[in-house]
Amino acid sequence: MKVSREQVGENRRRILDQAGRLFRERGFDAVSVAEVMKAAGLTHGAFYGHFQSKDELIAQTLAHVLAGSEVAAEPEAFLAGYLSSQHCADAAGGCPVAGLGAETLRQSPQARATMTAGLREQLRRMSETAPGADAAARRREAIGRWSAMVGALTLARLSDDAALAEEILEQARRWIGERSAQ
């Protein structure tokens, strides 16, 4: 049975959505191709019609989830949402940089290049609304803010103490907010 181009595109999107969710939830190595395909509602054999290898799936999934990452037009709203308890608890649907950044270090050059492109784009978007007298100051502010946000979210997720995790998120929000007010 022949599948339409539209259905092929929809199947690919489902694969990438499910891979993004599973990889962020459990990590690249803990998720098999068969699990991704089952979650997408497709057969394992259909995988090779879309990707040549798991490495390619990883790189394409990173591109997919990074492209879907939003930066709110209002920096304070983005900060509050990013460093929230809800975002911290949603590893599977949350930030791919915080969820997969460290793991991407050990992936293919294609995956690393995809993550680098995503980082560049995120910093470009954040620089547009960051405070600062000139482009260099706004870029520096965006890099500092993004680094603190990803670091705080990662630390909060690492903790098995809910009170400590919330303290990390709250103090990082305050610290970044104080810097922005200066």
- pLDDT single digits (tens) 123-159: 999 999 888 899 999 999 999 999 999 999 999 999 9
Rounded-to-integer distance, Cα 142 and Cα 103, Å:
23
Q: Does 171 score more than 70 pLDDT?
A: yes
Per-residue model confidence (pLDDT) at position 72: 64
Q: Does 75 score more than 80 pLDDT?
A: yes
Report the amino acid identity of residue 28: F
Per-residue model confidence (pLDDT) at position 5: 85
Confidence of residue 69 (pLDDT cuts 50, 70, 90): confident
Using an 8 Å Cβ cutoff, are 166 and 86 in contact? Answer: no
- pLDDT single digits (tens) 14-49: 999 999 999 999 999 999 999 999 999 999 989 998
- pLDDT single digits (tens) 52-61: 999 999 999 9
